[in-house]
Structure 1
Amino acid sequence: MNVTRYKCSVLAVDDDPGVLGVLAGQLAQDFEVLTACTVEQARGVMGQRAVDILLSDLNLPDESGLALLDWARRNSPRTSRVLLSGTARLEDAADAINHSQVHRLVLKPWRPEDLLQTLRSAARALLLERSHEQLLEDLRKLNLDLERRVADRTRELEAALAQLQQKNRILEQMALTDTLTGVANRRAVDLIARKELIRRTRSPSPLTLALIDADHFKDVNTHHLQTGGDHVLAWLARVLSDALRGSDSLGRVGGEEFMVVAPETDEAGAAVLGERLRGRVAAATTEYGGRPIRMTVSVGLAVAGVGVPVGFDQLYRAAAAALREAKDGGRNRCVIRTVG
């Protein structure tokens, strides 16, 4: 699939023809725009052709927009679902996300640039998912082809295996990367930490493991919704990465929590590292929807000194306890615990 040339389709559903006209005008340059005034019309459109993004108003004349989005979830799961609502109640947003599994929420009156950013983000996610699926399908077909040729085409098989190994390395890298932030995922950073612990049994050296948690991150989701939260997490990962040495490793271990593995780092070095991470975030600013956003982080660090035998679980628990102490102590601070 040529992702750069594919134009995603958007089905806009609203009982006001004027609103549909405005949506069509704002979206036409970036998307193939389809329109419907009722749930019945929308289902008819989706029954005849594939729709990439369903943008539905909450209040429709025949059925609720949530009913349409829930129907799309069950009948067209590949369609990204976006709710357009004139109410700002968080209860409606929670109901949409929990019961209809709506991917995104846009509030009326919307700003054209915010709406475009939301739909472009949804389109990018769809195209990335399809690109990954295409890669997996290519790998599956290649494996089948190799199996057929292995008996009598050894030389060709060797060349194809080299190609397969290269693509498998790409796929493995994808499996070890957090798709939102681009840093290592939980599995990958855990593996890095365990390898460092094995290495230091052969070459004794200090090791620091740090857990970093974004302070008051729920406020970001409350004020900027999920897309704003995703933006902040990606920005936070970049700020943290820029604050690390080349020998350090950063991974996202879940939600708004990150982990750093810092080899050859004793207690004094851990203090410098923790304060550098905290300070860089506190001094940085990002912008979303035309509004500046500033964040702070709490950092818990666990240090294993030279010659101190320690396992991953013990080191992780110590870092987690230090992080809890930093949180309980008022946030935007670093706490260090030594192990052993």
Structure 2
Amino acid sequence: MGRFKCSLLFVDDEPALAQLARSLLSSDYELRVAETAEEAQLLLARHDVDIVISDQQLPGLQGIPFLEWCREHTPRTVRILMTGVYSMEEAVEAINSGLAQRFLFKPWRPEQLMNLVRNSARTFLLERSHENLLDELRRLNLELEERVAERTRELEHINRQLEQRNSMLQKMALTDSLTGLPNRRAMDRLAKTEVLRRARVTSPLAVGLVDADFFKDINTRYLLPGGDHVLAWLGGTLMNSVRTIDTVGRVGGEEFMIVAPETSMEGALILAERVRRTVEMSATEFNGDVIRITVSVGMVVAEPDTLVGLDQMRHAAAAALSEAKNTGRNRCVVKRLTMLDGPSAR
């Protein structure tokens, strides 16, 4: 790419916010600041910019028309709209029409801005690396053809590398916009890949479902902005509570899925309890209120010698989650699959 940092343009006519953005972002990103949309357009004409964050209320050209201009003139730039909480309708319309790809409610906290920029930069870099990854996959495929006669262990290792890179390519377009995590489609594909892989290398696999307890109360009290804030925070908390080889995704409303390769029954019990306890011991803040929630966890484990399919594991994990919620919530239910009595991976 020729650059090691993402470039970022922050557009806001409030000097205090611009200065705060500089202090938070300038060390990790190539940051430029503009006070008006017109000034930002001149900067975009002279410099390559990866991410644009624009306030809606600007002197002269407003934020949404400016982002529409960005979509026409710099379509590869990630567009983020900053707007007040009470301008939710404008933000939703901008997202639905494709003018903005993400939004940030004002007043925002430093960690909200940093997390949003970090997730946007990660998505941008993944998209920009698509072509390089494809070239790498072609090169590895040629190597595989030349090394057919080599040892099975080495061949399996290379196959695993290919699967990991294919998974990366799939995730590029399969991300939940609110949390920055993989969405349902991405998680289904990843889980199917792991089920098929374990049939070849005979390793254990755990699949879990995590559901926020009494989330309707959050939506009722804090409305959609507060509910979205809590979900985004919960997604980050779950991601920080699992291992690097595990994957967390948002698969619906307040429900998340965990895919944990090479995880035995003992490991699944430890993982599920760590996830539950981490959420219970953590908190977030919205509009001055400290918000704490709990989660229920249902997890199922397929041991190396057990023949199972993805549908069976998913249904068993859902049943375990229901048991956790029906027996008091804020608890874990982990079960072992011992036979194939559901459909195989499809």
Same fold, judged at TM 0.5 (above) = yes
Q: Are residues 1:254 and 2:251 paired?
A: yes
Aligned to 2:318: 320
- Secondary structure, counterpart of 1:236 in structure 2: helix
CA distance in 2, matches of 1:77, 1:24: 24
1:45-82: CA deviation from partner (whole Å, max 9, x where unpaired): 43444222212121234443112223323442321222
User: Aligned-pair RMSD on alpha carbons?
Assistant: 5.5
- Secondary structure, counterpart of 2:57 in structure 1: coil
Aligned to 1:280: 277
* TM-score normalized with structure 1 length: 0.61
- Secondary structure, counterpart of 1:82 in structure 2: strand
1:225-250: CA deviation from partner (whole Å, max 9, x where unpaired): 56x745532431443559xxx9xx76
1:253-288: CA deviation from partner (whole Å, max 9, x where unpaired): 7354224679875xxx89967973675345442668
Distance change (3 Å), C-alpha of 1:217 and 1:83: farther
Aligned to 2:165: 174
Question: For the Cα contact (< 8 Å) 1:197–1:312, is it kept in 2?
Answer: no
CA distance in 1, matches of 2:122, 2:45: 24
Question: For the Cα contact (< 8 Å) 2:249–2:257, is it kept in 1?
Answer: yes
Distance change (3 Å), C-alpha of 1:51 and 1:225: farther
Higher mean Cα deviation, 43-52 or 256-265?
Answer: 256-265
Aligned to 1:105: 103
- Secondary structure, counterpart of 2:209 in structure 1: strand
Distance change (3 Å), C-alpha of 1:188 and 1:11: closer
Aligned to 1:222: 225
Aligned to 1:95: 93
How many residues of Structure 1 are paired with residues of Structure 2 in the alignment? 309
- Secondary structure, counterpart of 1:316 in structure 2: helix
CA distance in 2, matches of 1:90, 1:270: 43
**Which ranges in structure 2 are unaligned for 5 or more consecutive residues?**
150-154, 173-179, 342-346
Aligned to 2:81: 83
Aligned to 1:58: 56
Read off the aligned partner of 2:88 and give its amino acid letter. L
Distance change (3 Å), C-alpha of 1:48 and 1:292: same
* TM-score normalized with structure 2 length: 0.60
CA distance in 1, matches of 2:131, 2:264: 40
CA distance in 2, matches of 1:216, 1:174: 38
- Identity of aligned pairs, percent? 38
1:100-139: CA deviation from partner (whole Å, max 9, x where unpaired): 4534433444455654554344334433443454333455
Distance change (3 Å), C-alpha of 1:110 and 1:333: closer
Higher mean Cα deviation, 20-29 or 81-90?
Answer: 20-29
CA distance in 2, matches of 1:173, 1:319: 24
